[in-house]
Structure 1
Amino acid sequence: MPKKNRSRSGSLGFKPKVRAERIYPDIDNWEETDELKPLGFAGYKVGMSRVMMIDDTEGATQGQEVAEAVTILEAPPLRVYGARFYTQDVNTGKNVFTEAWTESPAPELQRAVDVPKEGNMENLEKAKENSDKITDVRLLVHTQPGQAGLSKKTAENFEVGIGGDVEDQLEYAEEMIGKQIEFDQVFEEGEYSDVVAVTKGKGMEGPVQRYGIKKLGHKTQKKRRKAGNVGPWHPDTLSWKVPLPGQQGFNNRTEVNKRILAHGEDPEDVQRDGGFNGYGEVQSNYIIIKGSVPGPSERLIRLRTAMREDGKPGTPEITYIDQ
């Protein structure tokens, strides 16, 4: 009888469950677009609320006022402190060619990374001279938590992709180093985005809580909250599919096509009496996203231009924001 061949079942996006390396994620893949602009933004999760809006989606309630659960992010502008230039090798893949940093970096950035105060902008000229070797350019940015309602003094730093071809990316990077990225430079209200974040950490959990398996009957084995059979004696190896106890939560997760309902610069539009539970008061720009996003309050949430965008529904009409 011929051997049956089929692809492995199960998504490696969720199994094996791997603890995130740091409290905010990296993004490796960006949208391929000819539009010359930054392809990502970030904000701190404030909490959830509710809005009333006119339903502009197809369905029974289209054109009517409906209530929607939303997540509020506090999103001060991102500061660009440098650029990173990549080359492509057929054997080793993508490699860093060089980096260019601005001079006089912000104090909150110096707490997070060792950036020389005099900068090294001469590397930008080196990259432009070798533009034929450069295959990708990304901005190096950091957050500004001092402008948000947080007590932390250390900034998060990460890469942000750029649209357009390499020549345009080089010119855009030179123009943006030392400046700020505003929300309006990346997204529009009503647009879809991909939300990338680290989920809540729950520590050590058993297989019932971790995978949702059924508890064993009281006549089956001495233990009930375990997998009934974890594998054969020969070969004496465990499959990666076996539900076992271990770390639960604190995973990098991406949720695609989350709609951005609103953005504003007046925090009083979304302010709650006494502040938000676990966060406090919003003090700078805010973003309202339809539905929930991963992670607890105060965690950095990264937004990426949608890679699998499902149309453009247009600008939403919000009639009321719960406060």
Structure 2
Amino acid sequence: MSGLIGKKIGMTSIYSAEGTVAKQIPCTLIQAGPCVVTQVKTTKNDGYEAIQVGFDDKKEKNTPKPLQGHFNKANTTPKRKLVEFQFNKDVELGQEITVGDVFEEGDFVDVVGTSKGKGFQGVVKRHGFHGVGGATHGQHNRQRHPGSIGAASYPARVFKGLKMAGRTGNKRVKIQNLRIVKIYPEQNLILVSGSVPGAKNSYVIIEK
């Protein structure tokens, strides 16, 4: 297995003794699994090898009939989140995978999530612009404006990709090389150093 599906619980901090100084480490608590193998894909049938795992139970009445049949093949309840992973050992359809089967304390992982949506924002918040300048020389309402965006009669247009105001956040974000500080196998919880994208109770993908 190369990863698991999890749910971001929130942030906390722990103290780590390095020499004679206690260092405070910000951490994110993630509920990682248990996940169920809902499909085993093979080169013969699907053109590639992977396993599909599901996480977080869902009511059967809110699940379409075709998906109900898909989960019945794995002899499991309907799941809210499905993700495919590579695997390097034998797994069976319907097998339950826990955090202890995939990760160990000290491992470095990549965490994928959807960042918080912040709506339509200006260039100061979206791109870190400093604004046009002080309110002098007649500029009484230009502090947070983008400034000039065009050129002269040539090219007489605005180039694509220019940093301007627009919708901010709500994008897929991957944070790499987060260290697993602690694992609580009984509660299926892991503690990773650093921050993880997304709001509380949002789904994340943890990859080795």
Give secondary structure in 1 for the equivalent of 2:80.
coil
Give secondary structure in 2 for the equivalent of 1:185.
helix
Report % sequence identity: 25
Name the CA shift for 1:82/1:63 in 2 (closer, same or farther; >3 Å).
farther
Aligned with residue 17 of structure 2, among 31, 50, 54: 54
* CA shift for structure 1 position 156: 0.8
Is 1:257 matched with 2:177?
yes
TM-score by length of 2: 0.78
* CA shift for structure 1 position 48: 1.0
Counterpart mapping for 1:71-220 below 5 A? 71-85=28-42, 96-97=46-47, 108=58, 111=62, 114-115=66-67, 117=69, 155-163=80-88, 172=90, 175-217=91-133, 218=135, 219=137
Greater strand fraction, Structure 1 or Structure 2: 2
C-alpha separation between the residues in 1 aligned to 2:51 and 2:28? 34
Q: Which amino acid aligns with 1:249?
A: G
Give secondary structure in 2 for the equivalent of 1:188.
coil
Give secondary structure in 2 for the equivalent of 1:194.
strand
Q: Which amino acid aligns with 1:108?
A: K
TM-score by length of 1: 0.53
The runs of 5 or more residues in structure 1 that have no matched partner are 1-37, 56-61, 88-95, 122-139, 145-152, 164-168, 267-283, 306-323
Name the CA shift for 1:188/1:236 in 2 (closer, same or farther; >3 Å).
same
* Post-superposition CA distance 1:87-143 (Å, at most 9, x none): 8xxxxxxxx5389999xxx9728645632527797xxxxxxxxxxxxxxxxxx9x9x
Q: Which amino acid aligns with 2:164?
A: L
Counterpart mapping for 1:6-25 below 5 A? none
- Asked if the contact 2:99–2:189 (Cα under 8 Å) also holds between the matched residues in 1, the reply is no
The runs of 5 or more residues in structure 2 that have no matched partner are none
- Asked if the contact 1:70–1:291 (Cα under 8 Å) also holds between the matched residues in 2, the reply is yes
* CA shift for structure 1 position 177: 1.2
- Asked if the contact 1:82–1:99 (Cα under 8 Å) also holds between the matched residues in 2, the reply is no
Counterpart mapping for 1:216-235 below 5 A? 216-217=132-133, 218=135, 219=137, 223-232=142-151, 233-235=153-155
- Asked if the contact 1:264–1:285 (Cα under 8 Å) also holds between the matched residues in 2, the reply is yes
1:304 — aligned with what? Answer: 207
C-alpha separation between the residues in 1 aligned to 2:101 and 2:172? 26
C-alpha separation between the residues in 2 aligned to 1:184 and 1:295? 24
- Asked if the contact 1:43–1:300 (Cα under 8 Å) also holds between the matched residues in 2, the reply is yes
2:25 — aligned with what? Answer: 68
* Count of paired positions: 198
Q: Which amino acid aligns with 1:258?
A: L
